Amino acid sequence: MQRLFVTLRYGLYALPLLFLGLFYLYPLVSILRLSLLPTGRLELAGIGQMVVQPYFWKVIWFTSWQAAVSTVLTLICGLPLAYLFARVQFPGKAFLRALTTIPFVMPTVVVAAAFTTLVGDKGVLNQWLQTSLHLDEPPLHLLQTIWIILLAHTFYNVSVIVRTVGGFWANLNPHLSEAAAILGANPRRLFFEVTLPLLLPSITAASLLVFLFCFTSFGVVLILGGLRFATLEVEVYRQAVSLFNLPLAAFLSLVQMGLTFVVMVIYTRLQARTSLPLDMRSEQSAARPLSSKRAKLAAALTLLVALALLLTPLLALMWRSFTLGTDGLTLRYYQELAINRRQSAFFVMPLLAVRNSLLFAVATMLLSLLLGISSAYLLARPRTWLTALLDPIFLLPLGTSAVTLGFGYIIALGSWRTALWLTPVAHTLIASPFVVRTFLPALRGLDPRLREAAGVLGASPPRTWWEVDVPMLFRAVLVGAIFAFTVSLGEFGATLLVSRPDLPTMPIIIYQALSRPGLLNNGQALAMSTILMVVSALALIGIERFRFGDIGEF
């Protein structure tokens, strides 16, 4: 029995490696071969011609500078919130922090639909301004401009700063600042000479993570930016799907992968620095209530403005889904999701997309748990050169764009690219690293003496695992499952390339509806976006409820 258990354990260890090899490394090697060896031998002439074209550098420049500006704006908005949640005690802090995280778990197509609903030419804000100011034309024209892209990226990523920097800030020992104050440092000097140097690795790591998210942005740029703007991610999609220029798309994918891997290497090293022992304390011991009325007013205004900016687009989306085209409330567009009208732009009844998304999400969740937990047990073994090498390898899919993965499937898997199972496989590649990062800290934190005691009392390895590991780690499994389910529900980039036309998911249907005119299409898109938003928000509440302490933050 014990030999069978050992064999099964090593077989499970091999599963994530085989999965990565077949569905990650092989498609990427196929992209490399198509880019550099299109006729079976090395050909660099086409790449050379592409490199000297101004358009190539224009795309790289736009991708880089919009990500950099978005990162700076996110820092400006996120750091004050990070301070409040880290160092200030106030009622409802956990609930308000959860509200600030809602935008991050929203699918990109829902974020795009929310901003279109709020600030579009016929959006809620423009209509209100026209009515209030008696204007004939909408005063705000933000759609298909760089401003809406920067605003959406900031909206989307503020919670990364709040969670990453705020989580580190909250656990810094307050005695360091108190000692500096006793030695005569004023608040300004105390911040710049004590707090900021300690926070700098965390701030830099979080900034690189935000930069990476903005650098690989797809849905926001594609829907809100229109044809005028193209990141590398969007251009890969256009070249592969619209123009069917596979060699060029492959080369652009290689360029993007190279740049994102460089950012990932720097990020992982900086993140490791934030794990150095700094006499960390619990959040409760670091937070203090505000004493002066002026400080309380400033904190209240900061929270109010931040929550208004972060929640207003989503609330506008929900409100318009019940009021579009009417003078009152209506459930028409939700009812239309179950009707397949001939005049509708949808080829598939929208409600069937809800079913497809839920089925794909359940399959992704189960597969991600199997692979993620197996990977975590392998990484939790005594540290060797193999585990040190595998740790970043299991995170590689996080540094690769979903569109690039989908494009790799198109050129590598042949007839399999239309298989039903390919969509949850693509989703699993993106979701399983989240399972690893939420389950692994809990597994490493499990007291090994509990297993030893069970063994001394005569329990076999399978019984020890079932009666010790499973009860202790069940909450971490729940968090990983919710993460995987939510990631699958909102995944858009890879799904757009690999999903079958007769089996669209909710994000695909939303994108199709937003791309076509008509009140019915728009209303159905808003209704489905609201459903997806509510499900994602409930998933976030579940993560907050079952999260293992303060670990697993991005």
pLDDT tens sequence for the chain (554 residues): 556 555 666 667 778 888 888 888 888 788 777 766 766 676 666 667 677 778 788 888 888 899 999 999 999 988 888 888 877 777 777 777 777 777 877 777 788 888 888 888 888 888 888 888 888 788 888 888 889 899 999 988 888 888 778 777 776 666 666 666 676 666 677 776 677 777 787 788 788 888 888 888 877 888 888 777 888 888 877 777 777 776 777 777 778 777 777 776 676 666 555 544 444 444 555 556 666 777 778 778 888 888 888 888 888 888 888 888 777 788 888 887 777 665 554 456 777 888 888 899 899 999 999 888 888 888 777 666 666 667 667 777 766 667 777 777 877 777 677 778 888 888 898 888 878 877 777 777 676 677 767 777 777 777 777 777 777 777 778 878 887 888 888 888 778 778 777 788 888 888 887 777 778 778 888 888 888 888 877 777 766 665 555 444 54
pLDDT at 278: 47
pLDDT at 71: 93
Name the residue with tokens 């909102």. Answer: 490
pLDDT at 248: 74
pLDDT at 399: 61
Q: What is the CA radius of gyration of the chain?
A: 25
Backbone angles phi, psi at 394, to 5 degrees: -70, -20
pLDDT at 276: 46
**3-class secondary-structure state, position 106:** coil
**3-class secondary-structure state, position 288:** strand
pTM for the structure as a whole? 0.76
**3-class secondary-structure state, position 88:** strand
Residues 253-309: tens digit of each pLDDT: 778 777 777 776 676 666 555 544 444 444 555 556 666 777 778 778 888 888 888
| CB-based contact 477:438 (threshold 8 Å) | no
Give pairs for 453-459: CB < 8 Å, separation 24+. Answer: none
- For the domain made up of 55-313, give the CATH fold: MetI-like fold (1.10.3720)
pLDDT at 545: 65
The residue ranges of every structural domain in the chain are: 1-37+324-554, 55-313
- CA distances to 74, 290, 304, 431, 473 from 301, rounded to whole Å, are 18, 14, 5, 36, 40
Q: Which two tokens stand for residue 46?
A: 């086409």
Q: Which two tokens stand for residue 164?
A: 């990453």
The DSSP code for 209 is H
N residues, the chain: 554
| CB-based contact 155:103 (threshold 8 Å) | yes
pLDDT at 296: 74
Other residues' Cβ atoms within 10 Å of the Cβ of residue 184: 8
pLDDT at 367: 93
* CATH code for the part of the protein at 1-37+324-554: 1.10.3720.10
Bridge partners of 89, per DSSP, are: 289
Collect all residues with Cβ–Cβ distance below 8 Å to 182 and sequence separation of at least 6.
none
pLDDT at 68: 92
Identical fold for domains 1-37+324-554 and 55-313, yes or no, is yes
The burial of 154, by beta-carbon neighbours within 10 Å (0-12 exposed, 13-18 middle, 19 or more buried), is given as: buried
